Structure 1
Amino acid sequence: MESLDLWPQLVALGKVVAIDLVLAGDNAIVVGMAAAAVPLAQRRKVIFWGIAAAIVLRIFFALITTQLLAIIGLTLAGGVLLLWVCWKMYRELSTHGRDEVAPDEALEAPDVPAAGGAGAVGTGAAVAAGATTVGAAIWQIVVADVSMSLDNVLAVAGAAKDHPTILVIGLVLSVVLMGAAANMIAHLLHKHRWIGWVGLAIITYVALDMIWRGSREVLQHTAWLFQGA
């Protein structure tokens, strides 16, 4: 009987680990592509602040997860947001990662001229009409980090459901992976594309489940609007 009781938690843990792996790798690639578009001497700074922002935002959203989930309609909105993430992941996987650049690859990519300089073509994200400024690159990453960190936390919460211990493990794991292994995961996902497809399937399932549960939640709390109709 204990093994039967443990099975739902193991399934939830498996989903959470897959989600954290895929989204940490995806976030690292965003950082790498933005870094590849700035001059070589400034790329380490962009990568550092990009990953630091992702870690801080994941910690912030993790700390307020309970309050977030208490907001009526956020589960539904989070499910819709995750579907958008799934669509972007599908397009990336379909192109076989041709334009993906991991952070360490950004450091090895050809240099690009300063913004406004002569055109040059680097690897992946390098721009054709001069490099992006450091400030613009960091801002681009931070904006992406806000969305991706929120996506990560909501996806983990959606997968963990009624297993608070799995939720905590998933949130801590998302922070650790982003801080310590994001670059390695980005390479892993690029080399073994099937991991990305498995992650995509799991996140799609979680998104649809969140939309279903969120819709029921919204209907339950708005039923009184139609009682007098």
Structure 2
Amino acid sequence: MDSLDLWPQLVALGQVVAIDLVLAGDNAIVVGMAAAAVPMAQRRKVIFWGIAAAIGLRIFFALITAQLLAIIGLTLAGGVLLLWVCWKMFRELRSHGEDEVAPDEAMAAPDISGNAGGAAVGTAAAAAAAGTTVGAAIWQIVVADVSMSLDNVLAVAGAAKDHPTILVIGLILSVVLMGAAANVIAHMLHKHRWIGWVGLLIITYVALDMIWRGSREVLNHTALIL
């Protein structure tokens, strides 16, 4: 294979890996914060179902990626959705992530009624801990997972573009990272904030590219109809 032909695939793969790392870490933090808001005895159940829902939704959206991308206007809508994700990421990065709680930190954190001991939970999670039920925490995670899993699949598909092999690798990688390395990634993003900023730039580029391509797709389709 010519090196000039290989270069676009390597660039796309690099973008996909960065997207997967950032979004897997963000999803883990959502799970951790929700778990920190329930009593200690119930946290393991919340974390298990939260991560299971994230993996299941990623697999589901990955299986219907081709059908999703065939819908006229979805590329444009996906780009707008990713821009909203970028805005949330920007706000989190600017606040230095004081309220972030990873799943393992949630397991070590004391109950809201506890005294010293264990890792400190984020202020938002601690404030929410009064009276949050297991069902409410799991539902909160599932709702967030639907958006974040769709974001992940659309972002990976947008970065992979016309490279189906890269798309498959990216979607498999997103599932593996969420299932096996979410805690590690969450801590890595918290410790090395620059990784989050690089991921934000890449996802913003992918979002703007999807909006550009999606707008042309919608305009061309409208012109054909008229």
TM-score greater than 0.5 by the shorter chain: yes
Give a deviation string over 1:184-226, Cα, whole Å, max 9, x none.
Answer: 000000000000000000000000000000000000111146x
Gaps of 5+ in 1: 114-121
Taking a change above 3 Å as real, the CA distance of residues 175 and 224 of structure 1, as seen in their structure-2 partners, is same
Aligned 1:86-125 pairs, distance under 5 A: 86-112=86-112, 123-124=121-122, 125=125
Looking at structure 1, the residues matched to 152 and 145 of structure 2 have their Cα atoms a distance apart, in angstroms, of 10
CA contact (8 A) 2:43 2:107 kept: yes
Question: Aligned letter for 2:15?
Answer: K
CA contact (8 A) 1:40 1:112 kept: no
Aligned to 1:49: 49
Q: Does 1:142 align with 2:145?
A: no
- Quote the sequence identity (%): 88
Looking at structure 2, the residues matched to 59 and 28 of structure 1 have their Cα atoms a distance apart, in angstroms, of 17
Looking at structure 2, the residues matched to 87 and 155 of structure 1 have their Cα atoms a distance apart, in angstroms, of 15
Give a deviation string over 1:98-149, Cα, whole Å, max 9, x none.
Answer: 0000000011112035xxxxxxxx7211235723100000000000000000
Looking at structure 2, the residues matched to 224 and 51 of structure 1 have their Cα atoms a distance apart, in angstroms, of 44
Please give the root-mean-square deviation of Cα atoms over the aligned residues, in Å.
Answer: 1.2
CA contact (8 A) 2:36 2:129 kept: no
Aligned to 2:182: 182
Looking at structure 1, the residues matched to 31 and 181 of structure 2 have their Cα atoms a distance apart, in angstroms, of 13
CA contact (8 A) 2:75 2:213 kept: yes
Give a deviation string over 1:78-104, Cα, whole Å, max 9, x none.
Answer: 000000000000000001110000000
Looking at structure 2, the residues matched to 34 and 95 of structure 1 have their Cα atoms a distance apart, in angstroms, of 19
Aligned to 1:65: 65
Aligned 1:211-222 pairs, distance under 5 A: 211-222=211-222
CA contact (8 A) 2:37 2:128 kept: no
Looking at structure 2, the residues matched to 90 and 195 of structure 1 have their Cα atoms a distance apart, in angstroms, of 12
Looking at structure 2, the residues matched to 127 and 32 of structure 1 have their Cα atoms a distance apart, in angstroms, of 14
Give a deviation string over 1:169-196, Cα, whole Å, max 9, x none.
Answer: 0000000000000110000000000000
1:96 aligned counterpart, secondary structure: coil
Shift of 1:4: 1.2
Taking a change above 3 Å as real, the CA distance of residues 174 and 128 of structure 1, as seen in their structure-2 partners, is closer
CA contact (8 A) 2:73 2:214 kept: yes
CA contact (8 A) 2:54 2:149 kept: yes
Question: Aligned letter for 1:107?
Answer: M
CA contact (8 A) 1:28 1:186 kept: yes
Gaps of 5+ in 2: 114-119
Q: Does 1:18 align with 2:18?
A: yes
Looking at structure 2, the residues matched to 161 and 175 of structure 1 have their Cα atoms a distance apart, in angstroms, of 19
Shift of 1:53: 0.1
Question: Aligned letter for 1:102?
Answer: A
CA contact (8 A) 2:86 2:204 kept: yes
Question: Aligned letter for 2:106?
Answer: A
- Matched residue pairs, number? 218
Q: Scaled by the length of structure 2, what TM-score is found?
A: 0.94
Shift of 1:34: 0.4
Question: Aligned letter for 1:21?
Answer: L
CA contact (8 A) 1:112 1:131 kept: no
Aligned to 1:131: 131
